[in-house]
Amino acid sequence: MRKLALLFPGQGSQYIGMGQDLLERSAAARAAFAEANEVLGFDLQALIANGSSEKLTRTENAQPALLTVSVAAFRVYMEEVGVVPAYSAGHSLGEFSALTCAGVMTFQDALRLVRRRGQLMQEAAAEGTGAMCAIIGADPNRVEEACQRASISEQQEVVISNYNSSGQLVISGHRAAVEEAARELERHSTRIAFLQVSAPFHSPLMKGAAIRFKEELASCTYSTFRWPVISNVTGKPYESPDQVVDYLTEQLTAPVRWDETMKLFVEQGVSLAAELGAKQVLTQFMRADAKSVMCYPYEKAAELDALQKELEADIMDQARHQATNNVVTRCLAAAVCTRNRNWDSEAYEQGFILPYRQVQRLQEQLDETGEPPTQAQMQEALKLLKQMLDTKMVPQQEQQKRFADILEKTGTAALFPEFSPDSWVIA
């Protein structure tokens, strides 16, 4: 099966009416918007559908709006396609979408965090004091030199904030310094384009926001990754949920290394990517710098159908793999290969033999249909396995390892948190 990456866009991709095809197509997408409305305390869906572009562009609105559209797209993707990615990555704000969809943070926490992130970023730079400008086709060294010459003090500073692709960098900082650096580069026939954003992201002006935002991040709980997520700061996968607070804090002032993310995909043999969310900005970067990776946007109805058709063979491969590597199959294997310490034959008959036969019947049904198990069937198998291991008097720590192995190797930890290692209390 091909290696797939899921991509999530960042701020600047927002537009009035985004996500409309998702809403019309899927109840899961509508549920995501309803959840966002409830968490945020205002009608986000109405703002996206009928609000003003100026209001949507404000950082504290754009960030939860883009997160919600990306999560809605992901839910539609999982419902209609469901191929598990080898990696996911998001550009700036999109990293929150990637972490949410990989099960690291809850959608509710992510909404609150990005709303607060937007507010802090807005407050960190007074209206009009900062700016961001895209630099197209310039050598990074020349851009760096222009930024250094334009940065004459802490009150006039500009830095490279985004390494988006080989053809595009973004500079960010105090407006006067950004304009000075942009003018110098333009004199050397470099194309420039000022961005419609309300704060200078990924620049020293965000230091105050970063300090305060770290406290917000530290108040949340982060779970195990369902698949690797690439950090904007390092351009490499997170190694542990323990890194989330530090990396997302540093991300506010550090440059986005999207170029390194694309390089990693190519090096790791990723051959297909899907951009879940508004517009096609990341798709265009991938098509320019990662030509070996076929990239699809995934927001409009035609795009949804095109990706589903492209992945038909992968969907079948995954289904065949799941048929022999699923929760039910692994529960049977774990029950058999675990040592028995209970020699009460009557208790063993009731607590092990009968539940084992129930799981066997579940497996036989799956073998007949060729379908992967439903969530209800997987949950039943896990509950029966727990009964069997208790009957065999398997120590709690060994049981914990058995369940952790099953959930990790089948990629189902997010579906069954009650069986995850974090939920066990061992005396």
Write out pLDDT tens, residues 183-196. 999 998 889 999 87
Tell me: the pLDDT tens digits for 149-163? 999 998 899 999 999
pLDDT attached to residue 213: 97
pTM for the full model?
0.78
As a whole number of angstroms, the distance between CA 123 and CA 198 comes to: 10
Taking residues 79-96, report their average pLDDT: 94
Say what the pLDDT of residue 122 is: 86
Neighbour-count burial of 336, counting CB atoms closer than 10 A to its CB (0-12 exposed, 13-18 middle, 19+ buried): exposed
Indicate the pLDDT class of residue 426, thresholds 50, 70 and 90: very low
At 228, the pLDDT band (50, 70, 90 cuts) reads very high
Output the average pLDDT for the chain.
91
Conformational region of residue 12, where left means phi above 0, alpha means psi within -120 to 50, and beta covers everything else: left
Q: Please, which pLDDT band fits residue 422 given cuts at 50, 70 and 90?
A: low
Q: Which of 2-11, 129-138, 385-394, 418-427 has the lowest mean pLDDT?
A: 418-427
Angstrom distance (rounded) from CA 263 to CA 280: 19
Question: Using CB atoms within 10 A of its CB, is residue 204 exposed (0-12), middle (13-18) or buried (19+)?
Answer: middle
Write down the pLDDT at residue 324. Answer: 60
Buried b vs exposed e over 299-310: b needs ≥16 C-beta within 10 Å? beeebbeebbee
Per-residue pLDDT band for 343 (boundaries 50, 70, 90) equals confident
CA distance 412 to 420: 10
First and final CA of the chain: distance in angstroms? Answer: 43
Angle at alpha carbon of residue 249, lines to 243 and 254, rounded to 5°: 105
pLDDT for residue 321 is more than 70: no
348, burial (CB in 10 Å: exposed 0-12, middle 13-18, buried 19+) = middle
Kindly list the distances between the CA atom of residue 360 and the CA atoms of 320, 402, 412, 419, in Å, as whole numbers in the listed order: 19, 18, 20, 21
The pLDDT value recorded for residue 33 is 96
What are 15-50's pLDDT values in tens digits? 999 999 999 999 989 999 999 999 999 999 999 999
pLDDT for 119 beyond 50: yes
pLDDT, position 161: 97
Taking each helix axis from N to C end, the angle separating 27-40 and 59-80, rounded to the nearest 10 degrees, works out to 150
Give 427's pLDDT tier (boundaries 50, 70, 90): very low
Q: What's the number of CA atoms in the CB half-sphere (13 Å) around residue 80?
A: 23
Q: How far apart are CA 348 and CA 365, in angstroms?
A: 25
Tell me how many helices (H) and strands (E) the chain has: 20, 9
Q: For 296, phi and psi rounded to 5 degrees? A: -120, 135
Residue burial 133-154, b: 16+ Cβ < 10 Å; e: rest: bbbeebeeeebbebbeebbeee
For residue 371, pLDDT over 50 is answered with: yes
Residue of 88, 91, 202, 203 marked catalytic: 202
Q: Please identify which of the residues 26, 70, 88, 92 carries the catalytic annotation.
A: 92
What's the mean pLDDT in 266-293? Answer: 96
Average confidence (pLDDT) over 129-141: 93
Is-catalytic flag, 91?
Answer: no
Q: Look at 95 and 412; give whichever has higher pLDDT.
A: 95
pLDDT-derived band at 424, boundaries 50, 70, 90 = low
Give the confidence band of 323 by pLDDT, cuts at 50, 70, 90. low
Going by C-alpha positions, the residue among 53, 173, 35, 199 that lies closest to residue 118 is 199
Active site residue 202: yes
